[in-house]
Each structure stands twice: as structure tokens, then as C-alpha cells.
A and B are shown apart, each in its own frame.
Chain A
Amino acid sequence: MKKTVKTLLGAGAIALSGLAATAVQAADTIKVGVLHSLSGTMAISETTLKDTVLMMVEGQNKKGGLLGKKLEAVVVDPASNWPLFAEKTRELIEKEGVDVIFGCWTSVSRKSVLPVVEELNGMLFYPVQYEGEESSRNVFYTGAAPNQQAIPAVDYLLSEDGGGAERIVLLGTDYVYPRTTNKILRSYLNAKGIKDADIMENYTPFGHSDWQTIVADVKKFASAGKKTAVVSTINGDANVPFYKELGNQGIKAEDIPVVAFSVGEEELAGLDTAPLVGHLAAWNYFMSVDAPENEEFITAWKKFIKDDKRVTNDPMEATYIGFKMWTQAVKQAGSTNVDAVRQAMYGQKVKNLTGGVAVMNTNHHLSKPVLIGEIQDDGQFDIVWQTEGEVVGDAWSDFIPESAKLTADWTYPWVCGNCSKPNFEKMPTN
């Protein structure tokens, strides 16, 4: 028994010293936090983004680092566990003293991190498409807002080229992003003259693997004599069995096209796409885009990951843009101080990978082009439609009554993420 106590005491001492080691001293490196799950259910998507940040950090260091210092990536594993995301954020900012965090995937992880970055005045770059309805002073959203993905995609489906759909099925995983997106879409479709009777909405749990009934239901719904299309906000793992079922039940893209917002090159990599040719996805980036920046990025990625078969996808581009913007803003501010960098971020421009220019707006959302691609038999997308220029990301949707009233603008006179009137309205301007 004595021995045990001694062992325990020893362990306790080590533990406490480990916890207390809070080294926020001015180091000779600039620390970049990487907060992506490397285990658990989200690892499948997030590991790629961790590698992307590591590649960007390496690239920046080869160019001599930033402000004369080397960048140092601090990687932690929040393990797809939402409270752990919050804990790790605190650890990154308070204990590791990082200057910026690239991370999170899915809204719940971001919502969990949000109070922490706001309290500690950190800076988070969130690289995934999401439902909007948020604009935090401490977060830059480099993924698409609903108006940069969902609405143009539906426009395309309704157009002659997209098949002129008159009946829409909204399939989604039951969480906030699909719920909100579908709510926005329903209201948008109603405005376009499609009645509620012609809209079917269905939600499934995460990782749903038995799609027989739902695919059969879609077929039934499509037999009402009107051209039918499916809008899918099905998340992650559930997509592969969904598409397999779709292919096997013989739903062809020209009969019932499916447009997806969460299916990219990475998701298709686990799939024989021959039966899916013609189904669609809407993103701000596709690997197949013909642009010199893209080619360079793909080459660098394949070299970094040492795998010639690895693909690139939209959240990687969002990470790329976010990282580039941050380095530019740091250079411009001459400091990694969060407040200074934030000011420098507004209006910051970076060449995106699709041949255009991404701009950071004062609502913390990017201007991005919207592309619609068709799945090809090689797992790539063939771009069939794209917006003329870049679309400005909208934090608050105009199609949700409560949200339409709100404005996000972090510069004078608003200085607010969710206000119906400016904060500094009454301040004299001279």
C-alpha cells in the first residue's frame, strides 16, 4: 500500500507540473494552432486539413518565415469530441500561446470553440461551408455561406440546362447546417413559385447507412409527373452508402439529378463513380479547375503528402486562402497581435485557386465564385456552370425573417456581428 501511495504521489507531482507549465513567453517562433480531429468520426475529413496547414507552414518557412521568425505548427487532436474542442482551444491559446488557429469542421465544433476564442481574444479560421447565422469578431469564415453554395445550386437545377426541376427533394443529415440550409431553400423555392406540396424534406442521423427506403421514397415522389431533383446536405460518411444505393437502384442523373453540398473529391475517392456520372455538387473550388495556381497547389500537395493519388478539395482551398490571407495581414500589420491582424484582414486579397481573387469582407466572410460540377467516372468534377464573378458571403440570410434584419459588419459605424442598427451610429464623424 505504501508503494502505491508513493507512486501516486509521484504521478500527481508530474501531472501538476505538466499542467502548470504555461509557457506563454515570447518565443522566437510564431505559433500556428491546428485544431482538427485526427481520430474519431471526423478524422476522415479533418486529417487532410491538418496536413494542408502543415504544408502551408512548411512552404512559408521555406520562404523565410514571417516577420523574420519561423512558423511553428502546434497540432492537437480534439478527437471529434466537441467539449474537447473547447478544452484544446483553451490549451492552444493559454498554454501554447498560439497566434492563430486553423481548425474545426462542423458547426457544433465551432460553436463549442466560439466562447473560448471570444473570451481569450483568439483568432480562428473556419474553412468549411456552413449554415451562416453567425459572425464572430474572432472567427474568419473561409468556407461558403448558404448564398455562396446552396442558392446558386438550386438556381441551376431550376434552369433549363440543369433540367428545369419543378419538384425538389431536400435530403439531409439531421443537424444544424442541413436544417438551416433547407429552411433557406424552402423559402427561396416558394419565392420561385414552387409550392410546399412539391417539396419533400427528409432527415437522417449521422452515418446513416441503409438508404433503401429513402431512395425508394424519392423515386415515388418523382413519379408525380413533374421533373424532380434532389438537393443533398447529407454529411460525411453517410454519402458513400447513399450514392451506392442510388447507383444500384438505377437513378440516373438525367432523370433525377442530385446536387450535393458536402460531397467533394475526397468523399468520392472511396467510390466507384461510374453509375453516378452527371450528379452534381456545388462548391467554390474543384480539383479539375484549369488554373495555374491550382496546378501549382496540386503539385505541391501531392509532393507534400507523398501520394500521387491524393485529391484536393474545397475546404483545402478555403484553408489555403485563409492561411495566405493571414500571412499577408500579419506582414501588413507588422505583428501577430490579434487586434492588429484583424484590422489588416479587412479587404485583404488573395488569388484563389480558380483563377479569381478572394476578398475578405468586413463581415468576416469571403467573396468566392460558385461552381457547379458534374461527377465524372474518374471521381473528378466537370464544371458545368459557374457564376460570372465572386459572390460576397452573407452571414445573415435574407430568407429567414429574424435573420434578414441583422447585419454583420466589423468596421465603422457598425462594429457588430449581429445588429439591427450600428453601434457607433451617434459618434461624430469628422
Chain B
Amino acid sequence: MTILSKFSWLALFAVLVAFTAPVQNVAHADEFSKIVQTLNTKSKKKLGKAIDAVVATGDERAVPVLEALLEGKLFYRKTDNQVFITEKSGKVYLLTDPSTGKEIGEATRKEAKKIGINNRLRGQLKGALGGMTLMSPDAEKRLKAANDVFKAGDPAMLKILKKALLREEDGTVKERMNRALAAIELEHAKDLQIRLLAVQKLGEYTDPEVAALLNKIIAGTKDEQLIASATETLSDVESSLASWAIVGNLFQGVSLGSVLLLAAVGLAITFGVMGVINMAHGEMVMLGAYTTFMVQEVFRNYFPGAFDWSLLVALPAAFLVTGLVGIAIERGIIRWLYGRPLETLLATWGLSLVLQQIIRSFFGPTNQEVGNPSWMSGAIETSTGLVLTYNRIWIILFSLAVIALLAVIARRTMFGLQMRAVTQNRAMANSMGIRSGWVDALTFALGSGIAGIAGVALSQIDNVSPNLGQSYIIDSFMVVVFGGVGNLWGTLVGAFSLGIANKFMEPYAGAVLGKILVLVGIILFIQKRPRGLFALKGRAVEA
């Protein structure tokens, strides 16, 4: 902390200078480039001091340098130890002179070496940059800066923070700045009244970071009044956090449910509707994930700019690939086994071994990298400590969309009608002129295709390896059976109830015991309702 505050005074001075009198900087040009050169050091301690010095120059060129250092883009050239800001371009680095901002050529990977930092320096850099970018024209940068200033909790930032607050017009940013201000005042102000006021102000923000700060204050002060006030606020914050945590828990449960739903919904068709005990279902999911990988490889190599769209291409591609594999499986193997459902278990189990090994032979046994598009990375962080990650939100929406689509197909299309007819009464359907063989093939293809697009979604949160399918197959069967075989709604309700049950049990029982309890719950539930949640009625059930 001592280092931090010392340098921050300098930073404050620097920033003030930078914003008030930019003309002066020209005179420091040589000085600045010299100081930047000191960043080239192996010792992290020296590097910390060099960062302070760069900040202290107050030069506006310091911001890109420090940003580059933070992002791992500051390199030195091995031949002459010159420091450069670099930008990767194919196999070489483009070098930019930090003091002139001009491009001065390029270097190969072997000629230049990155200046490494560690987590302490990372914190230091963020704090410094926070101070320097509080008045940046970019609202997003200002928001980030306000958060970083909060984390640094540095009294030196007080003045600039107040100044920034006066100029600030964006509501959210203003709020975050106020939070940072209150935090600094609480921690460093001498006047008790100011500190008490700060406690009150902080009470409006229910997030874990505020709770952490309050905890720290309570442990660190001897002032009774302050302790009392902070404790009271803390308990408010914590109780509010706790109630939001239940919402968070619900979200996690729904999210786990959506994953289970996606994994199981294809099975609900192949197993639930057609009665095929499809042990190769997991491998269809895996094939979908590998298709995503292949599509992304194409994007990486040919359209790197459009990478964010790769998943949209992967979806139909995965559906097509797994659907075609599904048709091949149905025509080649399963077709001969209708009426002998248990033997489909045997054959599809063998098939799953073969499919895994094919993938292992072609792609190797290691994980493949499937990237998250930018719109699926990160999270909505509400001011209540609730974190809703984008990938989970998308997967929930996606799973619902898939089930809706299936419902439409089953109820509103000709194919759906035929599908239902064949499963309900094959002989009758045949005599009505439905080519039940082809309906079977297409139904199986549909189930496999759905499994494939589930694979696209699951590739976003799990490993893409040959074992991917294996880890979902048991859960999928549980979901389908729990919900009631042959009933899509059952699968939907089953998946979400298992997901939520699991997530509400986990905090108390732990991950392993929670899962055991869910399994025992399923066993007991089946005793009560031997045909699942939504049992099909009628004669077909007995067959």
C-alpha cells in the first residue's frame, strides 16, 4: 500500500499536469523516452518503480505505454534493448515507438521479448490507469476507471475523482464514481462524520466488494460509533446479498436445467418417441461440438473478422452433419432392430465406442479449442452482486427455442403428424399410406440433429474432447425417464426441476452429495410414479 500511495500522489500530479497543461510535455520528450526505457527490467521490483516513474512524467503518452504493458504488448528488442509497443500481425510484431507513436518496422518472435508483469503490478497498473482515464472521453473507459479506482482505494485519487464527478454526465458512471469516492473517504478520511456518511452511502450498493470493504473497516478501526454503523450497514448489505443469492441460485439451477434439457431433448426423440435406447446419443452431441470446432477453424483461417458469427454457421452445419450421421445409423443398423429395443442398446453402445475412436483417430484425444464469440463472453454484473453470465443466458434462451421449435414441428407440420401417427400406431399409419420407414429415418435424423445443435451450445461451456458425450449420456437418460418417456413437456419440466433441485442442494450438501441426493430422489420418485412425471396413457404404453 505504501508504494501505491506514494506513486499515486505523483500520478495525481501527473494527471493534473497532463490535463491542464499539455504544452509542457514537449519539453519532456527526451526525458520521457528515457524513463520508458527503464521499463525494460527483469526485476519486478524495479519494474514497479519504473511504472511509478512513467506515471510521474505526467506525459499523455504514458497511457498507451502502460496499457500496452498491462495487455502484454510492451516488448523489448533483443538486439538493442529498445522498448516498443507491439501489435501482432501474422507471424511478426509491428513495432511502435512509445515516445513518437510512429511505426518503425517489425520484429520476429525471436527478436523481441515481452516485458512480463505479475498480479501485483497488474493491480498497480490498473489503479494508475484508472486515475489517468477517469476523464477519458470514452464512457466505458471511465466506468472501468471508476471500478479500478474503487479497488485501488487510494486517497491520492480523491481530488481527481471529485473533479471527474463534477464533469460526469453518464448516470451509471457517476454512480460507480460515487461508490469509489465513498470507499476512499471511508477508508482514509480523518473526519469521523465524513466516514459515517460514507458508510451510509455505501449501504446503497449491495455488492460483495462493498461487503468486503466494510468487513475490512470493522476489523481495522477502534472507533465504536463507526463499527456500530458499519456493522449495521454490513448486515443490511449481507441480507440483501443473501436474498439476491437465492435469485442467483435459481438462475444457476435454470441454467443447469437448460444444459440438461439440451443434452436430453434429442434423446427424448430417439429414445422417447421411437423407443430406441440410443447409447450413441452422447456421441451425436460430441459430433455437434466437433462440427463447431471445424466451422470455427474455417472462420479463424479465412474470415477472422467474422468470428462472432461462427456459431450461427455452426448450428445448421452441426444439424446437417449429425442428422446425416443419424440417417446413416438408422438405415444401416437401427432399422433392423425395431421391436427389439434392448438390442438397440447393444448396437448403439458399440457404435458409440467406434464414433469416439474415430474422433480420437482424426482429431487426437486432446481438447480442441472452441472460442466464445464476444457476445457470449462476460456477464451482466448487476449492482446487487448478481452475476448472470452471457453464455448461460444464451444457452437458456437457446434451449427454450429448441423445445419450441420441436413443439411446432411435432404439432404443426406434416412430418410431425406422420411422426406421431407412426409412433402411435405403426400398422395403421402404414395402411394410411405413410412410408413409415422414411418417417423413422427422418425422426431419428431429427433427434440426432437436435443432439448435434446441443453440441454446439455445450461446446461453449465444456471440453470439446472425444469424451464429451459420455459425460452427458447418463444424465440425459435420467431426465427423459424422470420426465416420462415419449413426452417433450416431461423432458422440459424434468430437466429444469432436476437442474434447480441440484443447484439448491449443492450449497448445503456439496457437489457430490447433492448429485447423489438427486439420484436417490429420482429412484424414489419413480416408485411413486412408475412412468415418470408425465406418463403416457393408453395401450401403447404396455408394448
Contacts from A to B (Cβ < 8 Å) = 38-41, 43-44, 47-48, 160-163, 174, 202-205, 207-210, 212-214, 216-217, 219-220, 222-226, 237, 240-241, 244-245, 247-250, 253-255, 257, 266-267, 269-272, 275, 277-278, 374, 376-377, 382-384
**Residues A225 and B219 in contact, CB atoms below 8 Å apart:** yes
Instruction: Report 5 cross-chain contacts, Cβ distance below 8 Å, ordered by A residue.
Output: A163-B119, A202-B511, A213-B506, A225-B219, A248-B378
Q: Is B507 an interface residue (CB 8 A)?
A: yes
Partner of B365, one of A43, A249, A271, A384: A43
> B392 to chain A: which residues have CB within 8 Å?
212, 248
Of the candidate stretches B171-179, B443-451, B456-464, B529-537, the one touching chain A is: B456-464
Q: Which residues of chain B from 462 to 500 have a CB within 8 Å of any chain A CB?
A: 462-467, 470-471
> A275 to chain B: which residues have CB within 8 Å?
377
**Residues B255 and A212 in contact, CB atoms below 8 Å apart:** yes
Q: Which residues of chain B from 202 to 227 have a CB within 8 Å of any chain A CB?
A: 208-209, 211-219
B188 to chain A, nearest CB (A): 16
B312 to chain A, nearest CB (A): 18
Partner of A44, one of B118, B366, B461, B507: B366
- Compute how far the CA of A25 lies from the CA of B369 in the bound complex, rounded to whole angstroms: 47
Q: Is B426 an interface residue (CB 8 A)?
A: no
Q: Is B420 an interface residue (CB 8 A)?
A: no
> A384 to chain B: which residues have CB within 8 Å?
44, 116, 118
When A213-B506, A271-B369 are in contact, do A250 and B378 touch as well, CB less than 8 Å? yes
- Compute how far the CA of A214 lies from the CA of B506 in the bound complex, rounded to whole angstroms: 9
B151, B372, B511, most chain A CB atoms within 10 A: B511
**Residues B511 and A208 in contact, CB atoms below 8 Å apart:** yes
A170 to chain B, nearest CB (A): 14
Q: Which residues of chain B from 345 to 370 have a CB within 8 Å of any chain A CB?
A: 356-357, 360, 364-370
- Compute how far the CA of A271 lies from the CA of B214 in the bound complex, rounded to whole angstroms: 36
When A174-B512, A225-B214 are in contact, do A209 and B365 touch as well, CB less than 8 Å? no
- Compute how far the CA of A41 lies from the CA of B252 in the bound complex, rounded to whole angstroms: 27
- Compute how far the CA of A74 lies from the CA of B302 in the bound complex, rounded to whole angstroms: 42
- Compute how far the CA of A377 lies from the CA of B369 in the bound complex, rounded to whole angstroms: 13
- Compute how far the CA of A419 lies from the CA of B36 in the bound complex, rounded to whole angstroms: 59
A18 to chain B, nearest CB (A): 22
> B539 to chain A: which residues have CB within 8 Å?
none
Of the candidate stretches B128-136, B161-169, B383-391, B520-528, the one touching chain A is: B383-391
- The chain B residue sitting closest to A156, CB to CB, is B118
B255, B368, B378, B467, most chain A CB atoms within 10 A: B467
Q: Which 6 A-B pairs have the closest CB atoms?
A: A270-B367, A225-B216, A225-B215, A223-B208, A248-B389, A212-B252
- Compute how far the CA of A377 lies from the CA of B71 in the bound complex, rounded to whole angstroms: 9
Q: Is B192 an interface residue (CB 8 A)?
A: no
**Residues A207 and B471 in contact, CB atoms below 8 Å apart:** yes
- The chain A residue sitting closest to B364, CB to CB, is A47
- Compute how far the CA of A237 lies from the CA of B367 in the bound complex, rounded to whole angstroms: 9
**Residues A161 and B118 in contact, CB atoms below 8 Å apart:** yes
- Compute how far the CA of A384 lies from the CA of B120 in the bound complex, rounded to whole angstroms: 11
**Residues A41 and B208 in contact, CB atoms below 8 Å apart:** no
A43, A219, A224, A377, most chain B CB atoms within 10 A: A43
> B259 to chain A: which residues have CB within 8 Å?
210
B417 to chain A, nearest CB (A): 38
> A266 to chain B: which residues have CB within 8 Å?
366
> A161 to chain B: which residues have CB within 8 Å?
44, 118, 120
> B391 to chain A: which residues have CB within 8 Å?
244, 248
**Residues A247 and B366 in contact, CB atoms below 8 Å apart:** no
**Residues A43 and B44 in contact, CB atoms below 8 Å apart:** no
- Compute how far the CA of A248 lies from the CA of B114 in the bound complex, rounded to whole angstroms: 26
> B241 to chain A: which residues have CB within 8 Å?
220
- The chain A residue sitting closest to B471, CB to CB, is A207
Given contacts A247-B377, A278-B122, 14 further A-B contacts (CB under 8 A): A40-B467, A43-B360, A44-B367, A44-B467, A161-B118, A203-B510, A203-B511, A207-B471, A212-B392, A226-B215, A241-B462, A248-B378, A250-B381, A270-B463
Count: A-B pairs, CB below 8 Å: 170
**Residues A48 and B366 in contact, CB atoms below 8 Å apart:** yes
- The chain B residue sitting closest to A207, CB to CB, is B471
> B463 to chain A: which residues have CB within 8 Å?
237, 240-241, 270
When A48-B366, A213-B506, A275-B377 are in contact, do A377 and B208 touch as well, CB less than 8 Å? no
- The chain A residue sitting closest to B386, CB to CB, is A216
> B377 to chain A: which residues have CB within 8 Å?
247-248, 275
- The chain B residue sitting closest to A244, CB to CB, is B461
B119, B377, B378, B381, most chain A CB atoms within 10 A: B119
**Residues B461 and A47 in contact, CB atoms below 8 Å apart:** no
**Residues B379 and A249 in contact, CB atoms below 8 Å apart:** yes
A35 to chain B, nearest CB (A): 16
A202 to chain B, nearest CB (A): 7
- The chain B residue sitting closest to A309, CB to CB, is B369
> A241 to chain B: which residues have CB within 8 Å?
461-463
- Compute how far the CA of A368 lies from the CA of B118 in the bound complex, rounded to whole angstroms: 23
**Residues A212 and B510 in contact, CB atoms below 8 Å apart:** no
- Compute how far the CA of A219 lies from the CA of B387 in the bound complex, rounded to whole angstroms: 11
- The chain B residue sitting closest to A279, CB to CB, is B119
- Compute how far the CA of A203 lies from the CA of B511 in the bound complex, rounded to whole angstroms: 8
- Compute how far the CA of A47 lies from the CA of B364 in the bound complex, rounded to whole angstroms: 9
When A248-B389, A250-B387, A384-B118 are in contact, do A213 and B366 touch as well, CB less than 8 Å? no
> A271 to chain B: which residues have CB within 8 Å?
367, 369
B329 to chain A, nearest CB (A): 21
Q: Which residues of chain B from 316 to 373 have a CB within 8 Å of any chain A CB?
A: 356-357, 360, 364-372
> A240 to chain B: which residues have CB within 8 Å?
367, 462-463
Partner of A257, one of B116, B119, B256: B119
When A213-B507, A220-B208, A253-B122 are in contact, do A203 and B512 touch as well, CB less than 8 Å? yes
- Compute how far the CA of A204 lies from the CA of B377 in the bound complex, rounded to whole angstroms: 25
- Compute how far the CA of A383 lies from the CA of B114 in the bound complex, rounded to whole angstroms: 12
**Residues B119 and A213 in contact, CB atoms below 8 Å apart:** no
B473 to chain A, nearest CB (A): 12
Question: Interface readout for B89-132 with A: 1 if CB under 8 Å, 0 if not?
Answer: 00000000000000000000000001010111011001000000
**Residues B511 and A255 in contact, CB atoms below 8 Å apart:** no
**Residues B369 and A39 in contact, CB atoms below 8 Å apart:** no
**Residues B467 and A202 in contact, CB atoms below 8 Å apart:** no
B243 to chain A, nearest CB (A): 14
B517 to chain A, nearest CB (A): 14
B196 to chain A, nearest CB (A): 19
Partner of B387, one of A226, A249, A278: A249
- Compute how far the CA of A240 lies from the CA of B462 in the bound complex, rounded to whole angstroms: 6
**Residues B387 and A217 in contact, CB atoms below 8 Å apart:** no
**Residues A38 and B511 in contact, CB atoms below 8 Å apart:** no
- Compute how far the CA of A244 lies from the CA of B211 in the bound complex, rounded to whole angstroms: 26
- Compute how far the CA of A255 lies from the CA of B252 in the bound complex, rounded to whole angstroms: 23
> B123 to chain A: which residues have CB within 8 Å?
163, 254
> A269 to chain B: which residues have CB within 8 Å?
366-367, 369
A52 to chain B, nearest CB (A): 13
- Compute how far the CA of A220 lies from the CA of B242 in the bound complex, rounded to whole angstroms: 10
> B461 to chain A: which residues have CB within 8 Å?
209, 241, 244-245
A306 to chain B, nearest CB (A): 11
Partner of A254, one of B126, B211, B212: B126
- Compute how far the CA of A257 lies from the CA of B460 in the bound complex, rounded to whole angstroms: 23
Q: Is B155 an interface residue (CB 8 A)?
A: no
**Residues B212 and A223 in contact, CB atoms below 8 Å apart:** yes
> B245 to chain A: which residues have CB within 8 Å?
216, 220
**Residues A214 and B212 in contact, CB atoms below 8 Å apart:** no
**Residues A212 and B367 in contact, CB atoms below 8 Å apart:** no
- Compute how far the CA of A255 lies from the CA of B211 in the bound complex, rounded to whole angstroms: 15
Q: Is B416 an interface residue (CB 8 A)?
A: no
B430 to chain A, nearest CB (A): 37
B360 to chain A, nearest CB (A): 7
**Residues B72 and A377 in contact, CB atoms below 8 Å apart:** yes
**Residues A248 and B379 in contact, CB atoms below 8 Å apart:** yes
- The chain B residue sitting closest to A43, CB to CB, is B365
- Compute how far the CA of A211 lies from the CA of B12 in the bound complex, rounded to whole angstroms: 41
**Residues A205 and B511 in contact, CB atoms below 8 Å apart:** yes
B352 to chain A, nearest CB (A): 12
